[in-house]
Amino acid sequence: MSEKPVPAPHTNADLDLIKQIIPHRYPFLMIDKVRDIVPNETAVGIKMVTCNEPHFEGHFPSKPIMPGVLIVEALAQTAAVLVGVSMDVIGKELLTYFMGIDKAKFRRMVVPGDCLELHVKALRGGGKIWKFEGIAKVDGEMAASAEFTAMMDLKG
């Protein structure tokens, strides 16, 4: 009797796979893809920042800057995809709730045309409560960093 082959874990998530893991949609889906996924450990989200995003209309009309809270949200969405792959909940709606944000720092403006890299590392996880360290970079330069705790829950 032969055993069923075990599928290789996802190491990358395109937009379609992201939407199978997290419920966020336009205009609040803040990531375009996730790469370098190491289940239960790390992942790198990618956000292509464009002038068409609705927050730039008011933040700020003469000098569009991505709000820091949205950068932290993009880090959290990257972390949620990491958890979704780690817990194998693809196709099941994973809800992610912030429980805390600590040590948030903003060091560089993020503007239209930037490619925002969202590096997340799981500090604690495996169950419903996860803690992460996140660093957002543009051209290798730190734009923002934070530690955050989230509760992961399957809808339903």
CB 96 within 8 A of CB 80: yes
Q: Which residue has the tokens 């239209």?
A: 112
Single out the catalytic residue among 10, 24, 55, 59: 59
CB 69 within 8 A of CB 75: no
Alpha-carbon span 59 to 73, nearest angstrom? 16
Strands (E), the chain: 33-38, 42-48, 94-106, 115-124, 129-138, 141-154
First-to-final CA distance of the chain = 37
Q: Is 24 a catalytic residue?
A: no
C-alpha triplet 85, 86, 92: angle, nearest 5°: 50
CB 78 within 8 A of CB 43: yes
Annotated catalytic residues are: 59
